[in-house]
């Protein structure tokens, strides 16, 4: 069911209220006070996803978690997703996306070999946009240290005219991420143990090729650095 869009005034007020907050205080205020029942997390169940999922689960494990099942994930990612659902007792993980290898527009499932932008649009951007229509705010696990367009990431920002996006880990460092995994004994993605540091679809993910740049193994040999689900340049808190 499509929700009535939040008014620009309501979003402006919320953005101001969230200004200056990070990690748990940011999530608590958004999930419990401002947008109860109107927020979701979008997670790829990748290398560091467990951190933001754990933070959210400690506040409300009923928060919807959207997993974009592109049909191209590593089997290890699907297994890790199921393990984390169990471990964190996530109560509302929703798989969205095209049917595996039956996608109109990519009938043979090989579009990623010739046009990665079109493939990401078909398998990620369009399904997510449709799923987000019922939410006022979504939560991501992006960090500034990931570089590129993420280097100036705010903790709260607008995402188009009628939605907000929160990045509660925006100002976290790699050491802080590692410490969180250790302190809470969170399981690592199986491919992390094999040297992968940023994990998306199998055909478009390799191990990092540049020291200190975890995302340098994504879309190897291409200028592409983002799949397209994130708009940049919207207003920030």
- Of 34, 42, 120, 156, which lies in the binding site for ligand SF4, with binding defined by CB under 6 A? 120
Residue 128 in contact with ligand SF4, rule: CB under 6 A: no
Residue nearest to ligand SF4 as judged by C-beta position? 201
- Cα–Cα distance, 140 to 52 (Å, whole number): 8
Confirm or reject binding of residue 70 to ligand SF4 (CB under 6 A): yes
**Nearest approach, Cβ of 56 to ligand SF4 (angstroms)?**
24
In this structure, is the dihedral angle defined by the CA atoms of residues 201, 177, 21 and 170, taken in order, positive or negative? negative
For residues 124 and 215, which CB has a smaller minimum distance to ligand SF4 in the complex? 124
Residue 44 is a binding residue for ligand SF4 (CB under 6 A): no
Number of residues that bind ligand SF4 (CB under 6 A): 13
- The minimum distance between CB 114 and ligand SF4, in angstroms, equals 10
The least distance separating ligand SF4 from the CB of residue 99, rounded to whole angstroms, comes to 14
The answer to whether residue 204 is catalytic is no
Verify binding: residue 147, ligand SF4, rule CB under 6 A: no
Active-site annotation, residues: 227
Q: Give the residues lining the site for ligand SF4 (CB under 6 A).
A: 70, 72, 112, 116, 119-120, 123-124, 200-201, 203-204, 227
């Amino acid at each position: 069911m499509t929700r009535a869009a939040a008014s620009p005034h309501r979003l402006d007020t919320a953005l101001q209220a969230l200004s200056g907050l990070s990690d748990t205080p940011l999530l608590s205020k958004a999930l419990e006070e401002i947008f109860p029942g109107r927020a979701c997390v979008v997670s790829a169940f990748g290398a560091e996803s467990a951190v933001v999922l754990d933070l959210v689960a400690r506040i409300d494990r009923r928060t919807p978690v959207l997993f974009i099942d592109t049909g191209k994930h590593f089997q290890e990612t699907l297994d890790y997703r199921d393990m984390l659902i169990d471990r964190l007792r996530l109560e509302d993980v929703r798989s969205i996306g095209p049917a595996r290898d039956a996608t109109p527009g990519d009938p043979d499932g090989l579009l990623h070999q010739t046009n990665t932008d079109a493939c990401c649009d078909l398998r990620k951007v369009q399904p997510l946009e449709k799923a987000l229509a019922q939410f006022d705010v979504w939560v991501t696990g992006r960090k500034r240290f990931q570089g590129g367009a993420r280097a100036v990431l705010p903790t709260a920002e607008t995402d188009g005219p009628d939605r907000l996006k929160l990045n509660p880990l925006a100002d976290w460092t790699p050491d802080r991420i590692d410490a969180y995994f250790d302190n809470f004994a969170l399981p690592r993605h199986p491919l992390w143990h094999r040297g992968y540091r940023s994990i998306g679809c199998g055909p478009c993910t390799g191990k990092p090729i540049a020291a200190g740049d975890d995302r340098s193994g994504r879309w190897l040999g291409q200028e592409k650095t983002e799949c397209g689900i994130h708009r940049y340049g919207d207003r920030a808190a």
